[in-house]
Copies of this chain bind each other. A is one copy, B any other.
Amino acid sequence: MAPHKNTSPAGRHRDVRPQPTAANGGEPDGEVCRQVLRILALIGDKWSILVIGQLRDQTLRFSELHRAVTGISQRMLTLTLRQLERDGLLTRTVHPSVPPRVDYTLTPLGTTLLDSVVALGEWATTHRQEINNNRRRYDATHPSRTQH
């Protein structure tokens, strides 16, 4: 996202290319993982999922999304929508009226993605407590850095 371009630092999981370590046969990492990384590059940012989630079963206009997605700035909403539109996950429809009106709707592709993502959400729901317990135990067991 953001004024496009990404060379390395702070760029999360973008730049997903073969990159065969040196001159080996290739596939030093799992192929599956690289595929997953591709998705994270699509919707692994701070807002995409929230936006897609809002459009799950309804069409919304810009201002409605702005209100629905808690805390998003106008700028990030625009950037996020453009990215999702580019990838074909949603469509942008401009109604030539005054004042202007722009509707956003999930495409079939976007819908299938959301469905897949929801599966992950279920994993989270199921194991949320377990993870919290693990963390508490770890922080208690490892006197080291408890974040001063």
Could you tell me which A residues sit within 8 Å of B by CB distance? 4-5, 10-13, 19-21, 28-30, 32-33, 35-40, 42, 44-46, 49-50, 53-54, 56, 67-71, 85-88, 109, 112-113, 116-125, 127-128, 130-131, 133-135, 138-139, 145, 147
A–B pairs, 7, beta carbons within 8 Å = A11-B46, A29-B53, A36-B120, A38-B128, A40-B40, A86-B135, A112-B123
Q: What number of copies of this chain does the assembly contain? A: 2
Chain B residues whose C-beta falls within 8 Å of the C-beta of A39 in the assembled complex:
120-121, 123-124
Chain B residues whose C-beta falls within 8 Å of the C-beta of A128 in the assembled complex:
35, 38
Cβ-defined contact, B13 with A45, below 8 A: yes
Chain B residues whose C-beta falls within 8 Å of the C-beta of A32 in the assembled complex:
53, 118, 121
Cβ-defined contact, B87 with A131, below 8 A: yes
Interface of A, secondary structure class, is: helix
Chain B residues whose C-beta falls within 8 Å of the C-beta of A4 in the assembled complex:
145, 147
Assuming the contacts A70-B28, A112-B123, A135-B87, asked whether A33 and B46 have C-beta atoms less than 8 A apart, the reply is no
Which chain B residue shows the least CB distance to A88?
B134
Cβ-defined contact, A121 with B36, below 8 A: yes
